[in-house]
Structure 1
Amino acid sequence: MHTSRHRRITAVCGVASLAVVASGCGGSEDAAASEDNPITLTVTTFGTFGYDDLYSEYEDQNPGVTIEANNINGSANARTDAFTKLAAGSGLSDVVAVEEGWLGSIMEVSDQFVDLNEHGAADIKDNWVDWKFEQGTDPEGRAIGYGTDIGPQALCFNGDLLDAAGLPSDREEVAEHLGGDEGTWEDYFDVGREYTEASGKAWYDQSGFVWNSMVNQMEEGYYTAEGELNIEGNEEMRAQFDLLAEATADGLSADQEQHDWGNGQGFVDESFATIVCPPWMLGTIQGQLEAAGGGPESGWDVADVFPGGASNWGGAFLSVPASSEQPAEAAELAAWLTAPEQQVKQSAAANNFPSTLEAQAEIVEAGTPNELFNDAPYGDIFESRAEGVVAQFKGPDDSVIQESVFRPVMEMIDSGEATADEAWDEAITLLNDVVVNN
């Protein structure tokens, strides 16, 4: 996790990945940033971005630009911070990280962000997987975000716990036992019942993350592709909701607190055996294990499988608010941080998976095993899981619905406070209170 700090970093002119240089680099009327002409750029991220060393590298290459780097605890808090400052008309950093889950709400005010096409985005768009660049482009064709990572989902599991329960524990065997490429959520829950019956322990950490994964997998999630709410009366979504509620009622959920897991104890005290795993979750688990005194001996691994097939959860963008007083320099910094070379380094630091094709290929070719996860071939697994991923449309209140409607409802299910019918009714009530009538 980053902390607020100040660094001196210089904008780089002529970076290979940039086709059009920013203001201050060849062709600008303004003098380039230098020790004699210093500027300050502010950057706001959230969670674990892995940018600390990149800031230092940028600093070492060129003196003259001071970066004030701020990290916010969690995506939801970052969303609140961004929209509070947008409403106030001031206070946003020169470069702001935007999470996929609230990108839709940013798109509604996309005119308050710089069109990165004016700073070379159109010339480097082929760096990214096509759907990632498209996600960061508004309906008017304005590119308002450079992609950082993507979140193709795999399944993390504790091999020691599966082995003790008499179930397959080798990652290839785990994938096969869960149905491989044809595996369904029914398969996942049925194997979970095998595990729970044999061990007396929970299968997954809590229902909220499972639910989020199930929704992300649908062709249309909380919103239709046309931007209409898509929950009430949605038979497919309700069927998945009931499927998960039934599994939880059968004792498969450990009722852990999201993003906490008992300060990591859930990963070392045998509370649960599996957790849905977009690549950035591996970095989260690493932090949790460290907090709880765990490590490679804790038994965690990751399998190239996911119930129901390809699914993406998460991934972020770097945007430049129109309020920035130095948009060209900010755009250049955002492009540098998200260029393939930097994405490879970010992946090593944060355990996320790049959104640029060149960075993905380099990670796969390197074949560096992840020691914390039983030497899992990280690049191979997430390259495989990225196949077939299609970006789901995220509406303006997508993250609000997940956090303020379905998170409390899933907590009700996990605690046994409500039946599936009662929980669904509560979800519709909250949806109306929080979104429809707000």
Structure 2
Amino acid sequence: MRLSRATSAASIAAGTAVLALVASGCATDTATGPNEPGGNGKQIELTITTFGTFGYEALYEEYMDLNPNVRIVANNIDTGGNARTDVFTKLGAGSGLSDIVALEEGWLGSIMEVSDRFVDLREYGIEDRGSDWVDWKYQQATDPDGRVIGYGTDIGPEGICFNGPLFEEAGLPSDREGVAELLDGGWDRYFEVGADYLAETGRAWYDHSGFVWNAMVNQLDEGYYTSSGELNVEGNAELRARFDQLAEATLSGQSAAQSAWDWNGGQSFVDGTFATFICPGWMLGVLQGNTEAGGGSADTGWDFADVFPGGAANWGGAFLAIPETSNNKEEAAKLADWLTQPEQQIKQFEAAGTFPSTLEAQQELAANPIPNAFFNDAPVGEILAGRAEGVIAQFKGPDDSLIQENVFGPPLQALDRGEMTADEAWAEALQLLNELVD
């Protein structure tokens, strides 16, 4: 993901929350293989650090019930950006990393520059599972030397979340099928409907420019880097054209100028501040958590449409890696392998909306859609399975997330506030690029 995956405000406090999960019971170990639950009866403490909303809490408990000799100590960091800082700080210190560390897609490129600091999971049989994942997911975790450093967790196919009552008030279709038809087309169509909504209601169309920009960039064949790893911002006419398109809509009033990952404590999802929201699968949990934190519920009217401006796009995805500093590599591999099996990925999806990266789990969700009560009974699994078709992962360079957040973040926020023209905002982005990226 380019922007940091944020927490569900209802379930994860800001900063770092540590959850020590202690097993109970006295079941007998039964598994014998290196990637199966179980062990030799010796008491083992496994530490794991994730970020944002992973939906692992119940799975930790289940694993410990299956493995009474294992005690999981789980640490969750509020955003992917802060998790990146945590990982590289501890890599620099040479100690302090958990036995299992979640790595975010947006900064996987920088991790690949130090991939030898993580265990080659081929030593624990990950090659036997290579065909489990969508092919590009497995390749993302493979370094130039062929070492595989991460078990794939989720991916982030994108749809549009919309508030049905707000659409109805504006005289727009408010059912999922009607909204999908209404927004079918490119970004020009999305902003055209946004202009109509603004004119009719006087209210914003989307929460802030950063998330929309992230989606627009992700759809390009090459984003901030070329596929060969060269910076691809300055002189990139296609990138500039999309920036100008977004700037025009934002300066016209379509952005609600929200703070990323805040939304006024969730209140803005409840009070009609904006009508649409960029929704990769994992963001569904974020939207629900913030709506509930703001005093809303399923009755607030959020829904999920099977459409995305410009076609298929992916925002998101993480991996579970094992640092070389771990003293419990084999047991850590068992846990990471178990957490990323199709059965567990489905449970993770049900808990947090994180869409599986394993093909079997995707097929199960598509074949047996479960209505999501919060999103007006939308069959979100089935929708996301369709939205995942045609997604091709974009190459992420070493400073990809930094460019999104620290190079384009400030000028996009200035556009939201109406403080810069498009030309001024682009010039500031290029200045920040030269200052922050080698």
> TM-score interval w.r.t. the shorter chain?
over 0.9
Letter in structure 2 aligned against 1:193: A
The CA distance in 2 between the partners of 1:307 and 1:41, in whole Å, is 43
Residue in 1 that maps onto 2:363? 361
Deviation, 1:23, is 10
Matched, 1:278 2:280: yes
Distance 1:11 1:91, change over 3 A: farther
Answer yes or no: is the 8 Å Cα contact 1:11–1:332 preserved in 2.
Answer: no
Answer yes or no: is the 8 Å Cα contact 1:245–1:420 preserved in 2.
Answer: yes
TM-score (normalizing by structure 2): 0.93
Matched, 1:42 2:55: no
Give the alignment of 1:26-175 within 5 angstroms.
Answer: 32-34=39-41, 37-175=42-180
Choose from 208, 211, 235 the match for 1:209. Answer: 211
Distance 1:135 1:93, change over 3 A: same
Matched, 1:294 2:296: yes
Give the alignment of 1:178-197 within 5 angstroms.
Answer: 178-179=183-184, 183-197=185-199
Deviation, 1:12, is 7.1
Residue in 1 that maps onto 2:311? 309
Deviations 1:313-364 (A, max 9, x none): 0111100011111211111111001111111111111111111111112222
Choose from 223, 226, 229 the match for 1:227. Answer: 229
Residue in 2 that maps onto 1:21? 34
Deviations 1:369-409 (A, max 9, x none): 01111111111110110010000000011111111111111
Answer yes or no: is the 8 Å Cα contact 1:8–1:63 preserved in 2.
Answer: no
Answer yes or no: is the 8 Å Cα contact 2:31–2:37 preserved in 1.
Answer: no
Deviation, 1:8, is 3.9
Answer yes or no: is the 8 Å Cα contact 1:340–1:358 preserved in 2.
Answer: yes
Choose from 20, 23, 26 the match for 1:6. Answer: 20
Letter in structure 2 aligned against 1:66: R
SS in 2 for 1:43: strand
SS in 1 for 2:157: coil
SS in 2 for 1:138: coil
SS in 2 for 1:218: coil
SS in 2 for 1:427: helix
Choose from 198, 201, 204 the match for 2:200. Answer: 198
The CA distance in 2 between the partners of 1:227 and 1:283, in whole Å, is 33
The CA distance in 2 between the partners of 1:381 and 1:397, in whole Å, is 32
Answer yes or no: is the 8 Å Cα contact 2:209–2:246 preserved in 1.
Answer: yes
Choose from 422, 429, 433 the match for 1:420. Answer: 422
The CA distance in 1 between the partners of 2:195 and 2:87, in whole Å, is 43
Answer yes or no: is the 8 Å Cα contact 1:155–1:277 preserved in 2.
Answer: yes
The CA distance in 2 between the partners of 1:267 and 1:142, in whole Å, is 43
The CA distance in 2 between the partners of 1:240 and 1:272, in whole Å, is 22
Distance 1:233 1:309, change over 3 A: same
Deviations 1:210-249 (A, max 9, x none): 0000011100001111111100000000000000000111
Give the share of equivalent positions with the same residue, in percent: 61
Deviation, 1:22, is 4.9
The CA distance in 2 between the partners of 1:13 and 1:139, in whole Å, is 37
Answer yes or no: is the 8 Å Cα contact 1:115–1:144 preserved in 2.
Answer: yes
SS in 1 for 2:224: coil
The CA distance in 1 between the partners of 2:387 and 2:220, in whole Å, is 16
Distance 1:107 1:360, change over 3 A: same
Distance 1:293 1:24, change over 3 A: closer
SS in 2 for 1:42: strand
The gaps in structure 2 that reach 5 residues or longer are: 1-10
Answer yes or no: is the 8 Å Cα contact 2:284–2:353 preserved in 1.
Answer: yes
Letter in structure 1 aligned against 2:34: V
Letter in structure 2 aligned against 1:5: L
Distance 1:205 1:250, change over 3 A: same
Deviation, 1:6, is 2.0
Task: Please report the RMSD computed on the Cα atoms of aligned residues, expressed in angstroms.
Answer: 1.6
Distance 1:333 1:11, change over 3 A: farther
Letter in structure 1 aligned against 2:210: G
Answer yes or no: is the 8 Å Cα contact 1:192–1:252 preserved in 2.
Answer: yes
SS in 1 for 2:21: strand
Deviation, 1:435, is 1.0
Distance 1:24 1:379, change over 3 A: closer
The CA distance in 1 between the partners of 2:36 and 2:162, in whole Å, is 49
Answer yes or no: is the 8 Å Cα contact 2:158–2:308 preserved in 1.
Answer: yes
The CA distance in 1 between the partners of 2:259 and 2:29, in whole Å, is 43
Letter in structure 1 aligned against 2:428: E
SS in 2 for 1:148: strand
Letter in structure 2 aligned against 1:361: Q
SS in 1 for 2:366: helix
The CA distance in 1 between the partners of 2:118 and 2:375, in whole Å, is 39
SS in 2 for 1:251: helix
Deviations 1:176-204 (A, max 9, x none): 1112xxx1000000010111111111111
SS in 1 for 2:197: helix
Deviation, 1:13, is 6.3
SS in 1 for 2:265: coil
Residue in 1 that maps onto 2:8? none
The CA distance in 2 between the partners of 1:144 and 1:326, in whole Å, is 16
Letter in structure 1 aligned against 2:203: K
Residue in 2 that maps onto 1:237? 239
Letter in structure 2 aligned against 1:429: Q
The CA distance in 2 between the partners of 1:308 and 1:170, in whole Å, is 21
